[in-house]
Amino acid sequence: MNPELIRVNKAYEKHIALIQLNRPKELNALNLQVMGEIRDTLMELDNDPEVRVIIITGNERAFAAGADIKQMAGKGAIDMLKIDQFSTWDQIRKTKKPIIAAVSGFALGGGCELVMTCDMVVAAESAQFGQPEIKIGVMPGAGGTQRLPRAVGKVKAMEMALTGNFISAEEALNWGLINKVVPNESYLSEAVRLAKDIAKQSPIAVQLAKESVLKAYEMPLQEALSFERKNFYMLFATQDQKEGMAAFVEKRKPSFKGE
């Protein structure tokens, strides 16, 4: 029997699903099968009304040490073109529900790019981030040269992409790559705490807010503001808006149903 490449718990906590990368011996190197399973699982979780937030994690030693170099080593340009991994990454990027990366140990190359594809990042003190592709004669290929400068600015992105040097969790925090650094033993529980804060909100409002924030990276400001406005109006068609505002007026906690 093939070992499970990823472990999925759809109800890790109420409304919170957990995906755990599970190739510990290979430091969770992201081979094509793993990426395909992540993509399929995210699509499934996106369609599951019980799930409101998704956490992706690895293990203590590695979130993911990058794409699987051994699988890529013998490939030519046309092999890479035919495999078309980009459609897998594009599909992952289209996930509507919020994704939190809970990172311990190495998050390198494609692993760092997967982190940046997530919406929020909680890291253990031990975490190390990097784009070391340059050291194996290539460069980031899944958004690293684009998402990194948007997160940390040009000069630091250049440093990471051109030297391949790793940065610590503390540096990643100071550079704006991640949300928080916590003691090694609590990176997952802190990610769950963040997920719970999101899971209690209206899932429709969360989805549209995520979509709107992402537009900041894709559209000129005026168009993005207009996009935001339409999502904002749309939320006034939900029961959750009625419930949220009524609860405020009645001085009670809202109960959002995603309707």
Asked if 110 is an active-site residue, the reply is yes
Stretch of 21-29, 93-101, 180-188, 218-226 lying at the interface with ligand DAK (CB under 6 A):
21-29
CB of 9 to ligand DAK, least distance (A): 25
Q: 219-226 long-range CB contacts below 8 Å, 24 or more apart?
A: none
Q: For ligand DAK, which residue of 52, 55, 68, 177 counts as binding (CB under 6 A)?
A: 68
- Catalytic-role residue among 62, 64, 65, 67: 67
DSSP count for the chain of H helices, then E strands: 12, 10
Tokens of 5: 């490449």
Toward ligand DAK, which CB reaches closer, 12 or 89? 89
36 vs 29: CA distance, rounded Å: 13
Q: For ligand DAK, which residue of 6, 16, 29, 127 counts as binding (CB under 6 A)?
A: 29
For position 161 contacting ligand DAK by CB under 6 A, the verdict is no
Asked if 133 is an active-site residue, the reply is yes
* Sequence-distant (≥ 6) Cβ neighbours of residue 84 within 8 angstroms: none
CB of 123 to ligand DAK, least distance (A): 16
E strand residue ranges, 2-134: 6-13, 16-21, 53-57, 62-64, 99-103, 106-108, 120-124, 128-130
SS3 138: coil
- Catalytic-role residue among 58, 105, 133, 205: 133
SS3 104: coil
Toward ligand DAK, which CB reaches closer, 86 or 217? 86
For position 89 contacting ligand DAK by CB under 6 A, the verdict is yes
* Sequence-distant (≥ 6) Cβ neighbours of residue 96 within 8 angstroms: 46, 207, 210, 211
For position 67 contacting ligand DAK by CB under 6 A, the verdict is yes
For position 117 contacting ligand DAK by CB under 6 A, the verdict is no
- What count of other Cβ atoms lies within 10 Å of the Cβ of residue 74? 7
CB of 152 to ligand DAK, least distance (A): 18
Q: Running DSSP on this structure, what letter comes out for residue 120?
A: E
Question: Considering Cα of 131, then 30, then 40, then 24, what sign does the dihedral take?
Answer: negative
Stretch of 5-13, 62-70, 187-195, 201-209 lying at the interface with ligand DAK (CB under 6 A):
62-70
Toward ligand DAK, which CB reaches closer, 66 or 254? 66
Stretch of 108-116, 173-181, 198-206, 234-242 lying at the interface with ligand DAK (CB under 6 A):
108-116
Residue nearest ligand DAK, CB atom distance: 109
Asked if 250 is an active-site residue, the reply is no
Asked if 13 is an active-site residue, the reply is no
* Sequence-distant (≥ 6) Cβ neighbours of residue 203 within 8 angstroms: 52, 97, 240, 256, 258
Which residues form the interface with ligand DAK (CB under 6 A)? 26-27, 29, 65-70, 80, 85-86, 89, 106, 108-110, 113, 132-133, 136, 141-142
Known catalytic residues are 67, 110, 113, 133
